[in-house]
Each structure stands twice: as structure tokens, then as C-alpha cells.
Amino acid sequence: MKAEPQVSVCVTRRLGASPERAFDAWLDTGMIGRFMFGPTLRDEEIVRLSLDPRVGGAFSFVVRRAGQEIDHIGRYLEIDRPRRLVFTWAVAPDADDASRVVIEIVPQGTGCELTLTHAMQPKWAEFAPRVEAGWTKMLDALGTTLG
């Protein structure tokens, strides 16, 4: 039995979009290609984005960086539109080494507040600042994409 992840990174952003639009962006490959991956965020090319947006469904986001293909994989654990989305996160082929990402969305006026918490195994503690910087960049891009 694995120990529970003990290292967490938390990023919160206020978004001008409705909770529904913010939530749906996480389950739409067109949107994912605008705020999570691609040349507007970092020096990479999107190879393939695929997902099966249901509890137990999997996703695979393949990008090419510096000539190497990287496949970000996971499974959806909870889908409670538009409040909460929980999924595993790993780089193939290491699905057994997956961490856990929780997205919570709370309405605020005409927009919402999105909080992303990424819980990782203790062995990844030294990567926490990079993980936080990556999610911060993605949530900023999400805010820009949603307008």
C-alpha cells in the first residue's frame, strides 16, 4: 500500500468566466491546447490531446519538447460540474507514480475563483517550486483564454 502524498502545491486564481466555462475548459481538448500546452506557453509542439471525460476515463496529452515526446497521462477520479474536478497526473509510462490534482471552483460575482491543489509523493518535494510555477503559468493562460 502506498503512502498518501505529502507534498502539496496550491495555486488560486480569480477568473472573469462563469464556473461552468472555467470547469468545461479542463475537459475540452481545444481549450487544453490553449492554456495547458503548446507554443504560447513554452517551447513545445502539441502532438495529440485526447480525453475521456467521465469518472474512470483517461486522458493523454502528448507534446514534443526539444525533440522528445512527453505523454502526460491520468484518470478522472471525480467530476462534479462546475464545482470540483479530481484527476491523477503522471508522465507515461509511469502511471503507478501518479500524483493527484484537485480543482475546486467557487462562484464569485460574475466570475469564479479556481483553486488547484497538486498533491505529490514526498520524493517529488524538490520539484514543488517547478510544479507551482507550471500550474501558475497555466492558470494565468486559462484566465487570458477565458477572457
Q: How far apart are CA 137 and CA 31, in angstroms?
A: 15
Q: What is the mean pLDDT of residues 138-144?
A: 97
Q: Structural domains in the chain?
A: 7-146 (3.30.530.20)
Q: In the predicted model, is pLDDT for residue 2 greater than 70?
A: no
pLDDT at 116: 98
Q: pLDDT tens digits, residue range 54-67?
A: 999 999 999 999 99
In the chain, the N- to C-terminal Cα span, in Å, equals 44
Is cis: bond before 39, omega within 30 of 0? no
- Nearest by Cα to 7 from 136, 137, 138, 126: 126
Average pLDDT, the chain: 94
For 49, counting Cβ atoms within 10 Å of its Cβ (0-12 exposed, 13-18 middle, 19+ buried), the class is buried
pTM: 0.93
Q: Indicate the length of the chain as a whole number.
A: 147
Residue of higher predicted confidence among 19 and 41: 19
